[in-house]
Structure 1
Amino acid sequence: MKNDSNDDYDPHEHRDVKKPTNNWQTMVHFLKASVGTGVLAMPNAFAHAGYLNGSISTVILGCIALYCLHILLGSMYILCKRKRVPYISYSECMEIGLKEGPPIFQCLIPLATPIVDGFLAFYHYGICCIYVVFMASNIKQVVDHNLIVWPVRTHMCFLVIPLLLIFSIRNLKLLAPFCAAANILLLFGLSIVMYYICTELPPLSEREMLVDIRQMPVFFGTVLFALEAVGVILAIEENMATPKSYVTPCGIMNWGMAIVLTLYATIGFFGYWRYGNEVLGSVTLNIPQTDILPQCVKILFAVTTYISYALQGYVAANIIWNKYLIKHFPDESKHTRYELIMRAVIVILTFLAAVAIPDLGLFLSLVGALCLSILGLMCPALLQICIQYEQGYGRLKYKLVINILLFMFGAFGGFVGTFVSVEEIIDTYACNKAEI
């Protein structure tokens, strides 16, 4: 039986990060990774849950997501101690964990690395695609009103060069000042949104505390999609100067998630209170479109999304380059050049996907719900089951019970999110076909 507590090897002390981020920079990255365009969909999510159910369920889902991140990082730390290495990637941890786990899981070993890496890279690539659509759509609405009416694809073309520039930043430390500025702009933009939301609030009695439970899948899918950013959160921890500050009870991750949940619940509650069932997919679409402040909001969110593009794309680029491509280029003097070329290719591919399918949201919500249920809920639970196999699961095997429940919850969430996304795709395309 392995006893990790008696091993004096500390993986954190042996990490060699070229440009580590301090705690303040880490908090900035965490908030930027966790608070994105999903916050604007929270009022619509509350419309599918009710203001009381929505508030409580948002906190519960947030706590579950946070707990899974803690057990994931904790499991990765234990495996690093056992192998006496400073860092092991998520996919490598799953493979090693399955080897040390119950024999029934041995058949999953060959699938661990490609599944985890594949889902992580594809999910964050997909996020970048939808960001291109989101930025172009917001800019188009402002330009259409004030200058000239152009197709949304034309605005996407103008975004390519700026995206190439910011995506050429290859480490998180250099991105920190941009993320700090983006957080300030995001806060300012959300303040303007809240100003419009909180004017002329109707009586709260006109809104539903609880709604039909059959509407809950939409709420679940939206909140899970908005809260989870497991790939970026792991990348942030990997690049820290003091990783222990990330996971302590009063650490960065707990404080960051508390801020995020408060913001999400507040926007969702007041947005639903103001607009009720008339709230749209993004609450910015409900506020007056001709006023100067809402137009400023659209530009602010386009800028913050532009910065988030580099942060989300970092995960996909890191996996593709460091795990699969770099080994094919033995000449280290050319690594920077080839990595920049690879990053440029990613930008072009996100642009082409956005141009080809401007309504990527329907398809990416399907992939996102599946990816996040697997990466954020099911895999952490399975990983802890495996690494605790030889040590035992505690009194009454409570750790095993908790992780089985988490795994089942993740499987249920993935099924529900997939079902709802497919249903929306069918409904949307059926409507489009009927119009034609």
Structure 2
Amino acid sequence: MIMSEKHNHGFIDGDGTDSYNSFSAAINSREISTHKEKSNTYSIALNDLKKSAEVGDYDPYNYRDTEHPTTNKETFLHLLKGSLGTGILAMPLAFYHSGYVLGVVATALIGSLCMYCVHMLINCEYELCKRRKVPSMTYPTTAECAFQDGPPIFQRIAPYSQHIINVFLLIYQLGTGTVYTVFIGENIHLVLKENDIHIDARWVMLIFLLPLILINYVKNLKFLAPVSSFANIVTMISFGIIVYFMVQQDIVWENREPFGSYKNYPLFFGTVLFALEAIGVIMPLENEMKTPKSFLGIYGVFNSAMTVIVILYIGIGLYGYLAYGPDVGGSISYTIGNEIPAQVCKVMLSLAIYTSHPLQMYPAIDTVWKQYLQPKLEKSSHQTFYEYATRTFMVFFCFCLAAAVPYIDLFISLFGALSLSALGLAFPALIYISTHWDSLKGVRGTMIIVRNIVIFCFAIVGLLIGTCTSLEKIIEKFSMKNSTL
């Protein structure tokens, strides 16, 4: 249920009369100048708000109260940062699975589809906020409210929709934490190996387990802000080194296929979705903007950022595959060589990913603890112990998955297909149908319903085939490994 929230600027979300009365009280409590122009200004403000309350006009953007609103430029950079991680480093292998021609075309198409689905999701959030007179909503809340307004079959699942969305978000966030753990272990393992120190990647992960647990004990992320800024600089330098090594390679067309094996297409699909979809940060970023109306639109912040991201992904994927061919690894950082700059690059990327680990785990820990565990432990005098135990367990869980299946490419593909097919494609399509259910009439309404059902079916097929293919490859890897023992 959506509860009314009181905000610092004196407005109360609810009906327009409450907003008007709150605003009047706030003004009366202030020392207002007796200057005639100022009096006229306040009178106009009160009259406008009263008229707005009477007609029921409510714009959620005018009621958002954020402590530190972000500018368009800052939001643009946050979107870039949220998408430039381990996913982009896996794009050359994705192009190996798809072939360079199909890789370029399919990445552009999937990127466009992801952009379209985000537009639907944000527009639905805005419409639902207007209906319920609340300033903003989270993804799970948007889904629940949409299904409440949808056809009867969706209304039945509305009470459970938040939990369903949370499960997929948790899979995605824990999957990202697992990918980060594998990335750190494999890169440090390669650096040690290149210096004749032979330690298995799993042991490296175990060495990093305690530091990962400790950094995830930081509850307030503002304390990690300086470290995060340093990590951003390190990441950019590392990307520069990777690009330098790639352009040093001769581009040859031998053993570079324009179209890969169709059996590997699901791996490509899952990898691209994992790389492109930053669905966990998109709605929070839009909610924190100073000018949220600038987020969408043809030349809006989101479209501009996604266009740059898709071009970068196509460039890295295409050039990385053409440069290294079938020898490309699960991360391009594995493949760039063993020279000193390459080793420095791997260490810097590992440190950057290490400091980013709590940022990726924070939403998962926050959801599990605050929404599910803390309410059940309200009467306990050991809440602090249980909270830290929860943080420890979730980091340890990611470590166990990483140690059991230390294959970063298969993890990326698995979690991309399993969670992001649902979060980035399927649910936005259903949410849009539900939100506008009463107005989807006639030929146009039928076309919109059919279009979104096609998107939903495409997402479900991608989820099932992508997940099954990734699991099949993981089992195959285990079988091959056991046969060599």
**TM-score bin, normalised by smaller chain:** 0.7 to 0.9
CA distance in 2 between partners of 1:60 and 1:178 (Å): 36
Q: Does the 8 Å CA contact 1:71/1:381 hold for their aligned counterparts?
A: yes
Which residue of 258, 276, 292 corresponds with 2:340? 292
**% of aligned pairs identical?**
39
For 1:299 and 1:394, the matched residues in 2 are separated by: 59
Q: Which residue of 1 aligns with 2:10?
A: none
1:380 CA displacement: 0.3
Cα gap change, 1:205 to 1:345, in 2 (>3 Å): closer
1:19–1:173 CA contact under 8 A, matched in 2:
no
Q: CA RMSD in A?
A: 3.1
Give 1:199 shift.
Answer: 2.0
CA distance in 2, matches of 1:356, 1:402: 41
Q: Is the 8 A contact 1:33 1:312 kept in 2?
A: no
* 1:257 Cα offset (Å): 1.1
The AA in structure 2 aligned to 1:389 is W
Q: 1:400 aligns with which of 446, 449, 453?
A: 449
Match runs of 1:213-228 below 5 Å: 213-228=262-277
Match of 1:380 in 2: 428
1:350 aligned residue = 398
Deviations along 1:132-162, whole A, 9 cap, x unmatched? Answer: 1211221222234337433434433443454
- Letter aligned with residue 300 of structure 1: M
Which amino acid is 1:141 matched to?
A: L
Aligned to 1:121: 170
Alignment match, 2:136: 87
The equivalences for 1:88-237 within 5 A come to 88-146=137-195, 148-170=197-219, 177-204=226-253, 207-237=256-286
Q: Return the structure number with greater relative CO, CA threshold 8 A, min gap 6.
A: 1
How far is the alpha carbon of 1:323 from its aligned partner? Answer: 2.5
Shift in Å, 1:301: 1.5
On the 8 A contact 1:28/1:183 being kept in 2, the answer is no
Q: Is the 8 A contact 1:9 1:84 kept in 2?
A: yes
- For residues 296-318 of structure 1, the C-alpha deviation after alignment (integer angstroms, 9 at most, x for no partner) is 11112212212331222122123
Q: Secondary structure at the match of 1:86?
A: coil
Cα offsets for 1:109-137 (capped at 9, x unmatched): 34312211111012201211221121122
How far apart, CA to CA, are the structure 1 residues paired with 2:217 and 2:67? 17
CA apart distance, 1:52? 2.1
Number of matched pairs: 431
- Equivalent in 57, 67, 71 of residue 8 of structure 1: 57
CA distance in 1, matches of 2:123, 2:171: 25
User: Which residue is equivalent to 1:305?
Assistant: 353
How far 1:69 moved relative to its partner?
Answer: 1.2
What TM-score do the two structures reach when normalised by structure 1? Answer: 0.87
Secondary structure of the equivalent of 2:437?
coil
Cα distance, 1:374 vs structure 2:
0.9
Measure how far apart 1:396 and its partner are. 2.3
* Distance in 1 of aligned mates of 2:181 and 2:99: 32
AA matched with 2:250: L
Separation in 2 of the partners of 1:322 and 1:168? Answer: 15
**1:32/1:182 contact within 8 Å kept:** no
Letter in 2 for 1:372: L
The one-letter amino acid of 1:294's match is: A
Letter in 2 for 1:58: T
The structure number with the bigger radius of gyration is 2
Aligned-pair CA distance for 1:262 = 1.3
Contact in 1 for aligned 2:193/2:199 (Cα 8 Å): yes
Retained in 2: the 8 A contact 1:125–1:316? Answer: yes
Comparing 66-75 and 382-391, the one that deviates more:
66-75
Distance of aligned partners of 1:122 and 1:214 in 2 relative to their CA distance in 1, 3 Å threshold: closer
> Which piece of structure 1 moves more, 82-91 or 136-145?
136-145
Q: Which amino acid aligns with 2:425?
A: L
Range with bigger deviation, 61-70 or 139-148: 139-148
Could you list the runs of 5+ residues in structure 1 that have no partner in the other structure? 1-5
Which residue type is aligned with residue 360 of structure 2?
Q
Q: 1:330 to 1:281 in 2, by over 3 A?
A: closer
How do 1:416-431 residues align onto structure 2 when only pairs under 5 Å count? Answer: 416-431=465-480
What is the alpha-carbon distance in structure 1 between the residues aligned to residue 443 and residue 352 of structure 2? 47
TM-fit CA distance, 1:87: 2.4
> Which residue is equivalent to 1:270?
319
Q: What is the TM-score with the length of structure 2 in the denominator?
A: 0.79
Structure 1 Cα separation of the partners of residues 412 and 91 of structure 2: 18
CA distance in 2, matches of 1:434, 1:264: 36
